[in-house]
Amino acid sequence: MPDANPEAVKFLQTRRSRPAKTLGQPVPDRASLVPLLTAAARTPDHGKLEPWRFIVLDRRAMERLSSVVDVRGAALDLPAEEIAKGRSQFDEGQLAVAVIEVQKPSDKIPAIEQTYSAGAVCLALLNAALASGWGANWLSGWPSHDRGFMREGLGLEDHERIAGIIHIGTEKATPPDRPRPDIESITTWPSD
C-alpha cells in the first residue's frame, strides 16, 4: 500500500476557488508568494521545457491594465458592458499572477502538451494559494485572449499567451458552494 496523505486528499476533494471580487487585503508579500510559485512550477512538464513563466501583478499594475482594457475594448469596438466586465478583475483585484504560456520549439513535445502544462501550472498555483490559507481564483476573460492586450499590457511575444490570471488575497466573504459533478455520470469503468 502506498504512503497516503489523507489531509492532502481531503483538501483536494473539498477545495474551492474564491470569487476574485471577494478577495482583498492583505495579499501575500514576495516572501509568501515565492513558495506558491515554487509549488506551481512542480507541475508535470514533459521534456523539461518549462513552457510557462510568471508575471506578478500588484495593485499599480492592475490599474495600468484596466486602462489597457479600455483602449483595447475601444479598438475592438466592444460594447461598454463587455469592456467593463473585462476590466472588472483589474479594477477590483489587489494581487494576481499572470501565468504565461511560452511555446518552445520541440521535435518531441507537441505544442498542445505545452498548453496542458501551462494550464496545470494555473491549477497548481491556485491550489497552493488555497492550501496556504489565501483566497484565490483563476480568471481569464476576453482581454486574456486579445493579442493586443497581451502585447500592450504584458509585453508578450507572439509565441506567448496568457494561460490564466490567478488572483490571490484575503477572502472577505464566502458565497455558497456550487453543485459539483456527479462522478458516476462522467466516469466510464471497464466493466460497464
Q: Is 139 marked as binding a ligand?
A: yes
Q: What average pLDDT does the segment 109-119 reach? A: 96
**Domain spans in the chain, listed from the N-terminal domain onward:** 19-171
- 122 vs 2, residue with greater confidence: 122
Please report the pLDDT score of residue 173 as a whole number: 84
Residue 162 has pLDDT above 90, yes or no: yes
Q: What average pLDDT does the segment 81-95 reach? A: 96
Please report the pLDDT score of residue 132 as a whole number: 97
Q: What average pLDDT does the segment 148-165 reach? A: 98
Strands 96-102 and 160-171: antiparallel
User: Helix, strand or coil for residue 161?
Assistant: strand
Please report the pLDDT score of residue 19 as a whole number: 87
Give me 165's grid cell: 490570471
Q: Is 140 marked as binding a ligand?
A: yes
Averaged pLDDT score across all residues of the chain = 95
Please report the pLDDT score of residue 175 as a whole number: 81
Q: Is 15 marked as binding a ligand?
A: yes
Q: How far is CA 178 from the centre of its chain?
A: 19
Please report the pLDDT score of residue 168 as a whole number: 98
Tens digit of pLDDT for each residue in 68-87? Answer: 999 999 999 999 999 999 99
Cβ-proximal residues to 75 (8 Å cutoff; 6+ apart), any chain: 148
Q: Is 53 marked as binding a ligand?
A: no
Highest mean pLDDT among 51-55, 177-181, 187-191: 51-55
Fold of 19-171: NADH Oxidase (3.40.109)
Give all strands (DSSP E) within the chain, no chain letters: 23-24, 52-57, 96-102, 135-139, 160-171
- Provide the pLDDT confidence category of residue 134 given band limits of 50, 70 and 90: very high
Residue 61 has pLDDT above 90, yes or no: yes
Give me 139's grid cell: 480568471
Give all strands (DSSP E) within 37-146, no chain letters: 52-57, 96-102, 135-139
Q: Is 42 marked as binding a ligand?
A: yes
Q: Is 138 marked as binding a ligand?
A: yes
Please report the pLDDT score of residue 35 as a whole number: 98
Tens digit of pLDDT for each residue in 19-39? Answer: 898 999 999 999 999 999 999
Please report the pLDDT score of residue 39 as a whole number: 98
Residue 192 has pLDDT above 80, yes or no: no
Alpha-carbon gap, residue 103 to 53, rounded angstroms: 11
